[in-house]
Amino acid sequence: MIVALIDSGFGLLPTAAWLRKLRPDVDLLLQLDPEGAPWGPKPQDWVVERVVSAGRTARDLGAEVVVLPCNTASVTALEHVRAELGAEVPVVGTVPAIKPAAAVCRSVAVWATAATTASSYQADLIARFGGDAKVTGVACHGLAEAVDLGDMAAVRASVADAAARTPADVEGVVLGCTHYPLIVDTIVAALPDGVRLFDSAQAVAAQTVRRMEALGGPATGDGTVRVYLSGRPGELPPGASAYEPGRILGAAGGAARRGDADLPGR
């Protein structure tokens, strides 16, 4: 069983790490796009083509399930990827954890990229799932890019700026970009004590496992990790080692490269 995860950068690492924890036997195909990152500011048609192309590559490399652990990709291209791959290859998208946050918090801030914050998609999610909570969108300018670069000074500056624009009465913060769980300690330190954080990585990983198991065929593998960078075989960029999921997956990827004669598609 091969599961492909598609994102422009390191946002796929938290979900991939949860998949690794839940099903260490499953083979992972990590598809990053350093040549096209970041996707958020790009035109919608450009993003659709980029993500759909990655989906085709995943299928050609034997992926039986494809995951978009990226809000921009899910907002923009999820249905296009599903149409391209057909019903035989399940495609799992990502939705910010607004519903669970609003269920237990009276005031919620959704931290996301500027593009996602301004999107009708997020506005619709807030309208549908915000309930009686006060939900405020907070654009975290440059934060995803800083995470990809491993620029911790820029990370801290962006987090401090977002925290300063977050309502003082906030009880919960939704991490509406999949990059943000990688710097959760920095975010916690910038927020008042007691503020709860919500992210979707674990839920997306669990949904992926359910979709795998629903296929009904053999669902085991060797636990290998392959990396593709903008459509070509590669390795996780060095900056991934700044984060625990990157270190775990990078080590597994090294094992895969040592035995890649046995990998599907080799």
**What pTM was computed for the model?**
0.91
Q: What are the pLDDT tens digits along the chain (266 aa)?
A: 899 999 999 999 999 999 999 999 999 999 999 999 999 889 999 999 999 999 999 999 999 999 999 999 998 999 999 999 999 999 999 999 999 999 999 999 999 999 889 989 899 999 999 999 999 999 999 999 999 999 999 999 999 999 999 999 999 999 999 999 999 999 999 999 999 999 999 999 999 999 999 998 666 678 999 999 999 999 999 999 999 999 999 876 655 454 443 433 32
**Which residues, including other chains, have CB under 8 Å from residue 175's CB and lie 6 or more apart?**
96, 97, 111, 181, 184, 187, 197, 198, 199, 200
What is the per-residue pLDDT for 266?
28
Can you tell me the distance from the alpha carbon of 179 to that of 6, in angstroms, rounded to the nearest whole number? 13
Q: Is 168 helix (H, G, I), strand (E, B) or coil?
A: coil
Any idea how long the chain is? 266
DSSP letter at 89 equals S
Distances (CA, A) of 169 to 22, 75, 106, 108, 198: 35, 29, 9, 9, 17
DSSP letter at 238 equals G
Six token digits for residue 193? 């004590």
Question: Which residues belong to the active site?
Answer: 70, 177
Sheet holding 134-139, edge to edge: 134-139, 107-112, 172-175, 196-198
- Distance from the Cα of residue 221 to its chain's centroid: 22
What is the per-residue pLDDT for 233?
97
What is the per-residue pLDDT for 244?
94
What is the per-residue pLDDT for 219?
61
Residue 38 preceded by cis peptide, ω within 30: yes
